[in-house]
Amino acid sequence: MAWISIAKFLLFVSGLVYLIASQFNKQTNPAFDNLWAPWVVLAIVLAFSISLLWTEVDLEIALVALVKHAKLLTILLLVVMIRSAREARIGLTAFAAGQTFLLLSSWLLAAGVPIAWATATGRGSEYVVFSSYLDQSIIFATTAAVFWHLSSDRLWPRWLGGLLAGAALINVFALLIGRTGYLIALVMVSLSVMWAVPKQFRLNTLIAAPMLVLAGLYFGSTQVHDNVSRLLRETQSYAIQAKDESSSGWDKNSSGWRLNAWHRSVQAIQESPWLGHGVGSWPVTVKRLEGDTALITFGDIRNPHQEYLLWGVELGVGGMLLLLSLIFCMVRDARQFKSSIARASLSVLAAMAIACLFNSALYDGLMGDFFCVALGLLLALGLRTSSSAALAVVHAPDLDGRKGSP
């Protein structure tokens, strides 16, 4: 982890030096001309940086939180520094190869084959390679959509994309216990089915498909049935007692803990709705609101497992609007691309938006990196493919042998 962190730091410094130098050399880049997302990323990083002026925590803690939020610059650097559709395809092929390695490793564990690089420990880690079941289930569910949709973009054979997508989804539903992963996988399947039918049937399909898949999984899979039942039980327990049933151990994976953390986060936003409490301030703010049991309930946890509320506590209502603006702008950008890239991008965005409802997905070091890299590569591919197509039209010869005009 230390070597990876050092490498990421050097990569960011090099990328920022390149961006600054290109601006001094007055080099134009289509990323800033054709996409909205890069501008919103810059605005977000600037807003969190300015909040250092009024944050309620020590500067060292605030700077650590700022760095976690600033990983969104990954999207900007990838979109700006990838110069052609070929480079974007190379990046996505490397990304897919890494995800395939992770997927095959998990299936080897399921087959009882020991692998030396498996480091996951703790609850539900039997088939998890690195991180945790939560991260792996969300990553596999999202990657399945990328495998499937980019099969038609000649990045890999269609049969291989379908095989890997199916293996990833089965892994999520049959081996892992992440409930957020179940939901994202359900949405990925529903979107794929919706896009596969004629336009006049898409709305009905989008409504019917998840209901049918969920019903089949609920009654056909003991694991899915048990996890959904546990979700309902924990939620009902919190609603009745207004307290997490496992608060004595402050199990951060329980639904009751999340509901309590969200409740305290809403209270914190109400205290300072316009400016927020500053970057990195969530732990101290909610612990103050929680009272005497704060250390037992929250321990050293530094986020509410909900990205929208985390930004609301730190930046106020404006922070939540910034996150929604980022999602909206990336949706707008993705809709400009060819259908296969657009669908892959929109699927990853949908997965990220859902993951942010139940986890601090972008703030998290693992899921955050995954989503930023995936979105950066997809936006770069869409941008450079569109730019190449436009350039081909501009320079295509007409019937008289002359180059076409812009």
Distance CA 22, CA 295 (A): 48
Distance CA 185, CA 211 (A): 13
Q: What pLDDT shows up at residue 250?
A: 47
What average pLDDT is seen over the chain?
Answer: 87
Q: Domain range for residue 297?
A: 31-113+124-388
**To 10 degrees, the CA torsion angle through 219, 225, 228, 234?**
130
User: Hunting for tokens 């436009």 — which residue is that?
Assistant: 390
Report whether pLDDT(267) > 90.
yes
Distance CA 22, CA 402 (A): 33
Residue 143 lies in a domain: yes
Q: What pLDDT shows up at residue 102?
A: 97
Residue 15 lies in a domain: no
The number of domains in the chain is 1
Residue 330 lies in a domain: yes
DSSP code per residue over 114-176: --TT----STT-TT--SS-HHHHHHHHHHHHHHHHHGGGGTSS-HHHHHHHHHHHHHIIIII-
Residue range 48-64: average pLDDT? 96
Q: What pLDDT shows up at residue 391?
A: 44
Residue 2 lies in a domain: no
Distance CA 205, CA 185 (A): 16
Report whether pLDDT(375) > 80.
yes
- H/E segment holding residue 347: helix 339-358
The pLDDT tens digits for 293-310 are 888 888 889 999 999 999
Distance CA 334, CA 345 (A): 6
Q: What pLDDT shows up at residue 400?
A: 43
Residue 358 lies in a domain: yes
The pLDDT tens digits for 349-365 are 999 999 999 999 999 88
Query: Three-class SS of residue 42?
Result: helix
pTM above 0.85, yes or no: yes
Beta bridge partners of 397: 403
Report whether pLDDT(190) > 60.
yes
The pLDDT tens digits for 90-118 are 999 999 999 999 999 999 999 999 999 99
The pLDDT tens digits for 207-229 are 887 788 777 766 766 776 676 67
Q: Do 108 and 128 form a contact (C-beta atoms < 8 A)?
A: no
Residue 142 lies in a domain: yes
For the ranges 88-102, 194-208, 337-351, the lowest mean pLDDT is seen at: 194-208
Residue 244 pLDDT grade (very low, low, confident, very high; cuts 50, 70, 90): very low
